[in-house]
Structure formats: structure tokens, C-alpha cells
Structure 1
Amino acid sequence: MTRKILVTGSAGWVGRALVEALADLPHTRVVAVSRNRGTPPTVHVDQGFVGDIGAHTPWQPLLQNIDCVVHAAARVHVMQETAENPLALFREVNTAGTLNLARQAAEAGVRRFVFLSSIKVNGESTEKGRAFTPDAEPNPTDPYALSKHEAEQGLLAVARQSGMEVVIIRPVLVYGPGVKANFAQLMRWVHRGVPLPLGAIANARSLVSLDNLVDFIRVCIDHPAAANEVFLVSDGRDLSTTDLIKGLRAHMPSSGWLIPVPSVVLRVGAALLNRRAAAQRVLGSLQVDISKNQALLRWVPPVTVEAGLKKTVDHFLATDRK
């Protein structure tokens, strides 16, 4: 019997990879939903378009006979927010838009709703060696994280009221072929041989490869024990910033110097330049405990950190022109 899965945000980086992976599964029909008619998927799937996502978006025509919804669409976190009221904008899409879709999905008889949230719901950082767990007290500190947390709470309420199963996934920083933003910039610096004062950073950060995240979502679509649970997801092995750069360098034909500047010196410099938040992302720790994933779902990351970094670097070297 063929199951039917609807994926929102299918034009995005994670959504596109997920659609391609699900389309390869037997007895599976995928409905790839995006905001507008942009680049079509590279695999044969059904397509749907909804325009802006918010509290009044009509989803009913797309939800007929759907078994599972994977909601990956979101207003994403941005470093330099310029909106006058960013919380209202994040809430409209990430909270009201998510709950509107969930309620309509429940009314349409959808069995399960998988929600891609964010580790930022847990917080921005951890002490080294004290990882976040799924049941830790949430500590969202910016409008994006708050909107995701409110969506999570609303989804669990919808699950209690309707009987539709909800699965909440909070990924850490995702990397993989085609990664953008800071991770791509770091690869450019390493590839160009830019000397980096990051050779003595003893922090610990959890990352997740795109392949591992997609595989975990796939498991959460079907596994009975995932119902109404919250999961954190990572590669299962944490890296210091120094080790991450060394891991990238190992797959590049040329690389620059890693200068061992003490992190305390870097923090003082960042404070003088009013760049404390940026420094925390590079120098601080953020670890997650994924033991629940193995205990409940028997899931372990299928792709190693080394393999994930190599695949990421290989794609970067083949495509980067900047």
C-alpha cells in the first residue's frame, strides 16, 4: 500500500534533500510543497504551491489522503535582523502558520506531523560536557527561537486534542553539500589559505550532516515510538572549532595556517569590537545528547563526521566560484 507524505519548504536546502530521499523509498508518494514556482525538484514528485504561510493559509486541497506531513518551511533565523517587529513576523509564519497547518492536517485525518524546530529552543550554548537533552527546560532567547518554542507547545496541544501524532525535531547546525552562510565562508577562508587565529580552541560543538538529518527525519516519519516525542539530532560526535577546521583542511588541496591564539584573548578582542555573539558561536560550546534517539528509535547516525565533511568539501571545491 502506498503512503503519501507532504513536505513543506521543499525548495529549501533541507527540504529538497528530504524530498529526494523520500522519493527513492518504495511505496511512497511525495507531495513537495513550496511557496512559489521556483526550481522544480530533481526527482519525480507531485508539486504543490501555497504562497505565503500564515494563520490563514488554505491547505485543504493538498492534504487529501496525506499520511504524514513534514513541516520544514519556516521564517529562518537571520544574523542582521532589520524588521521593526521581528517577533511578530516570526510568529506569523513559524507559530501561527505551523499551527494552522497542523489543525487542518488533523481535520483531514493526517496520521503524523513531523516538525523541524531548532536547537535554539534549548538555548544558545552549553557548558562543555553538559549537553542539552530533549527534556531540558527550554530557554529560547531570540524571536526566532521563541516562535519555534511556541509552535512546539501548540503542536503538542493539537496532538492531545485531535489524536494526530506529533514529532518534534531540534537539529543543531546542519552542514553538507551546498551549505551556505558562515560554514561556507569558513571553507573559503581555509581553501584560500587565510591565516586563522583558531588553533587553540578547546570548545565542543555538536553538528549534524544533511545526510544524517534527512535519515533521522525518515525514521521519525514511520517509527511508532517517535509519536509525541521531542528529539535532538546530531552526528553523535562533537568537535572543537579547531578540530572542525582541521577536518575541513584534510580534504582540501591547500590550506592556511592555524594560529594558536588563546580563546580568552579572542573573547577580549570580540568584546572590544562588540562581537560577543559571533565570538560565542566560534569559541563557545553547544552540545546535545542524542542517546534518546538510539534508546527509543534504535537510530545511530549512518554517516560519520569524516565522511560528512569530505562530502561537503568535495561539493564546495566542485562548485564554489567566489
Structure 2
Amino acid sequence: MESLNKNILLTGATGFVGGAILRHLCDRPEYSIRVVTRNPAVFPGVVENSVLLGDLNSTQSWGHALKGIDVVVHSAARVHVMKEHAVDPLSEFRKVNVDGTLNLANQAAASGVKRFIFISSVKVNGEETTAGNKYTADGVVHPVDDYGISKSEAEKGLLKISAETGMQVVIVRPVLVYGPGVKANFLNMMKLVGKGFPLPLLSIENKRSFVALDNLVDFVALCIKHPRAANQVFLVSDGDDLSTPELLRKMARALGKKVILLPFPVQLLRAAARLMGKENITDRLCGSLEVDISKNQELLGWTPPMSVDNALLKTAKHYLGNRNS
């Protein structure tokens, strides 16, 4: 495995995943980290080597940011917009996630960057799996929503650039990421469990893959240096798939609470959600989405270092300490 010092350019360092990658890499003396940001003051005392840049798009010049860089870790993206106002959302996703990414990758290759790590999404594979059929890293992809489509198109473009230039590309597709500071549906679920509300979710029999932030960051760090990661696609999870009731019970234990789960027909639950316009949330609560991460062990020797229980304890501790802030 490579052990030479590396100069790393990190995008998206103010985000949930990018910020965790930044903190992890800053603790490694073998790496020199450069971040791109609209506001360098965001990183006082953390990264002095920051570069001021504007939006991620097809025309941005990356020359100064890429000078002397060995590895790019690209986690910046246009992610899900809760209240979408764009007339053509797919076009807006493409501007950032496809055009912006490929513009950066082309300039990186021209600048002599050796490896480009792209934080993609399991949504490239699809939205739901059936019993006994897990998504695999090298299986057929079937993105459904605009975000997943844009990530899939970016992946294809990156592999084309790699083939044409020789720059190594590593594509990392996480499942739902949780950890200290998690937002959106996972946080809402934690709030409900923390308040002790009875939840009509006992009858759900599904399986979903999740990935702790620490496990994802550990895997990305491995992909920076492992020679066999070059030009590969990986799915990342905790390797411990859970049903919704199992997740809620583990979450309750982490919060020091008791969760009350009530039986309720799943079809009625889905029907009620449709009437309230909450079908997407119910799909995630009731549906399955499992991934096979055996490739990670077989090719890179990687297994998730943090258990689900410990990751949930860490997440719950942060939530309890910050819920009033």
C-alpha cells in the first residue's frame, strides 16, 4: 500500500460528509489538505491552505486550487432540495453534479492529478431492493430521481475521462449516512423516539443498509492510498442491515429511551401517507434497500471499523447535547 505524503484537494468541506473527511485527514500528518470555499473564514485554525472559489459549474477555473495536488476528493454536490422551486430540477442538478464535476475532473487530469475520488450515491443503483437481491457495486444501475440521474451521468463522464487521460478514478456510493449532526429524516426519527411517541411501525418487515459517518470517512481515507482502489466503484454501508423496527429499538437504547411500537397494516400506512403527500417518507420506512459490500473486503481488505450500536451512541450523544442549540 502506498505510504508517500500526498497533497489532497477537498471539495464540499462545509458539508456533513465533507466536513468529517476534512477532520479525519487533518489528523494525518502524511497529508497536506487544501480546501475550496466561498468563505475561507469558515476554516480558521483548521486549514490554512484554503482557496477561494465560486460556484461549482462548467466554467470555473481550478488552476490555482489544483497546483501540486496528487488526489482530489470531490464531495461537493447539489443534493436533495426539500422545497424545489426550479422549473427544470434535473437541469439544475446537472449543472453542478455533472458539468461542474467533469469540468473539475478534466482540469485535474490536465494538472497531473493522479487520483480523483468521487462521492456519489446509492441512488445511482436505484431506490429499492427485493428480498434476497442486494445492490452490487458493479451491477446494473437504475437511477430514478433527478439527483440519482445526475450522479450516474457524472460517474460515466468520470470513467470516460479516466480512460482518455490515465487519471485514476474511484467512485464511492454511500447509502444513507448518519452520525453526529445528521439532519433530515434520520434526525426527525430520532426526535420522535426521544419524545416517546408511540409509532405504528411494528408490522414493517424490511431491510435497509445504513452507513455511519465514521465508517464512510474511514473507507474514503483508504481509497486515497490503496492501489487496488484505482478505477473501481464501491458501495459503502455498515454491513449490518436493519429493519425499521430494529433501527428504532437500537436508536432508543442509544438515547436511553423506551420506544413504543404498535402493529399497523403496512398497506394502510402507505395509503395514509399518500393521502398526506408523505409517500416518499413511507417508502423509506417500509421499503428495503440493501447493498453488498463484499467487494470492499475482497479487493481492499476493508471492514467497517465502527459497529452500528457504537455509531448510534455517538450520534445520540451529539443530538442530546445540541438539541436546544
Is TM-score (shorter-chain normalized) higher than 0.5? Answer: yes
Q: Indicate the residue corresponding to 2:155 in structure 1.
A: 152
Post-superposition offset of 1:37: 3.8
Q: Indicate the residue corresponding to 1:84 in structure 2.
A: 87
Post-superposition offset of 1:40: 1.6
Maintained 8 Å contact 1:37/1:49: yes
User: Is 1:251–2:261 an aligned residue pair?
Assistant: no
Q: In structure 1, how many angstroms separate the alpha carbons of the residues matched to 2:112 and 2:157?
A: 18
Post-superposition offset of 1:35: 3.4
Maintained 8 Å contact 1:54/1:96: yes
Q: Indicate the residue corresponding to 1:168 in structure 2.
A: 171
* Closer, same or farther: CA 79–285 of 1 in aligned 2, 3 Å: farther
Q: In structure 1, how many angstroms separate the alpha carbons of the residues matched to 2:106 and 2:28?
A: 27
Post-superposition offset of 1:271: 3.1
Please report the TM-score for the alignment, with normalisation by the length of structure 2: 0.95
**Cα deviation digits, residues 73-122 of structure 1 (max 9, x gap):** 00002243221111111101000000000000000000000000010010
Helix, strand or coil at the partner of 2:177: strand
User: Is 1:238–2:245 an aligned residue pair?
Assistant: no
Post-superposition offset of 1:313: 0.5
Q: Indicate the residue corresponding to 2:76 in structure 1.
A: 73
Q: In structure 1, how many angstroms separate the alpha carbons of the residues matched to 2:259 and 2:251?
A: 11
Post-superposition offset of 1:293: 0.4
Q: In structure 1, how many angstroms separate the alpha carbons of the residues matched to 2:248 and 2:273?
A: 20
Q: In structure 2, how many angstroms separate the alpha carbons of the residues matched to 1:284 and 1:38?
A: 42
Q: Indicate the residue corresponding to 1:6 in structure 2.
A: 9
Post-superposition offset of 1:42: 5.9
Maintained 8 Å contact 2:266/2:286: yes
Q: How does 1:18-167 map to 2 (within 5 A)?
A: 18-37=21-40, 39-40=42-43, 43-167=46-170
Q: In structure 2, how many angstroms separate the alpha carbons of the residues matched to 1:35 and 1:170?
A: 26
Q: In structure 2, how many angstroms separate the alpha carbons of the residues matched to 1:229 and 1:207?
A: 21
Q: Indicate the residue corresponding to 2:208 in structure 1.
A: 205
Maintained 8 Å contact 1:16/1:41: no
Stretch deviating more after TM superposition (28-37 or 151-160): 28-37
Q: CA RMSD in A?
A: 1.4
The amino acid of 2:56's aligned partner reads I
Maintained 8 Å contact 1:9/1:35: no
The amino acid of 1:46's aligned partner reads N
Percent of aligned positions that are identical: 50
Q: In structure 2, how many angstroms separate the alpha carbons of the residues matched to 1:188 and 1:297?
A: 37
Please report the TM-score for the alignment, with normalisation by the length of structure 1: 0.96
Post-superposition offset of 1:264: 2.4
Q: In structure 2, how many angstroms separate the alpha carbons of the residues matched to 1:126 and 1:69?
A: 32
* Closer, same or farther: CA 79–131 of 1 in aligned 2, 3 Å: farther
Helix, strand or coil at the partner of 1:184: helix
The amino acid of 1:221's aligned partner reads I
Q: Which runs of 5+ in 1 are unaligned?
A: none
User: Is 1:308–2:311 an aligned residue pair?
Assistant: yes
* Closer, same or farther: CA 20–41 of 1 in aligned 2, 3 Å: farther
* Closer, same or farther: CA 262–38 of 1 in aligned 2, 3 Å: farther
Maintained 8 Å contact 2:40/2:50: no
User: Is 1:178–2:212 an aligned residue pair?
Assistant: no
Helix, strand or coil at the partner of 1:251: helix
* Closer, same or farther: CA 204–38 of 1 in aligned 2, 3 Å: farther
The amino acid of 1:211's aligned partner reads D
Stretch deviating more after TM superposition (106-115 or 192-201): 192-201
Maintained 8 Å contact 1:3/1:27: yes
The amino acid of 2:97's aligned partner reads N
Maintained 8 Å contact 1:174/1:208: yes
Q: Indicate the residue corresponding to 1:263 in structure 2.
A: 266
The amino acid of 2:137's aligned partner reads P
Maintained 8 Å contact 2:254/2:309: no
Q: In structure 1, how many angstroms separate the alpha carbons of the residues matched to 2:278 and 2:126?
A: 19
* Closer, same or farther: CA 125–233 of 1 in aligned 2, 3 Å: same
Helix, strand or coil at the partner of 2:254: coil
Helix, strand or coil at the partner of 2:153: helix
**Cα deviation digits, residues 267-298 of structure 1 (max 9, x gap):** 23223334332211110000000000001000
User: Is 1:294–2:297 an aligned residue pair?
Assistant: yes
The amino acid of 1:133's aligned partner reads T
Q: What is the count of residue pairs matched by the alignment?
A: 322
The amino acid of 2:63's aligned partner reads Q
**Cα deviation digits, residues 228-259 of structure 1 (max 9, x gap):** 11100000010111111101100223344211
